[in-house]
Amino acid sequence: EKYPQTIGFEGVSSSYLLDNIQKSVDLLKKGSVDYEFRTTFVPGLHTKDDILAITRWLKPAKRFYLQNFRPEKTLDPNLSALRPFQADELADWLGLIAPFFDTVQIR
């Protein structure tokens, strides 16, 4: 639901973007091509509720990788002062979503 905001396309219809993403998700899950899903979580933009919503949307699936935000690798200089999530917080989230994917890891 926060995808337009996350990628900086707040003026674009959320339903348009999400419909196209859903088509890609469906193709991957039905096809024979190996795949993985991953989400980079940004403090102040993503919450525990967001990871749960993404899990409900994608489950069941082969692999999901939870990536922590890295301020030194951001294209938006306004985000460079943000502190990444704590490792124990990500580990807690990982425990919540693990039952819904074959493989779940933190990257």
Report the chain's mean pLDDT, rounded to a whole number.
Answer: 89
CA distance 71 to 5: 18
Measured distance CA(41)–CA(70) in Å, rounded: 9
What would the pLDDT profile of 29-45 be if each residue is shown by its tens digit?
998 899 999 999 999 88
Residue 12 has pLDDT above 70, yes or no: no
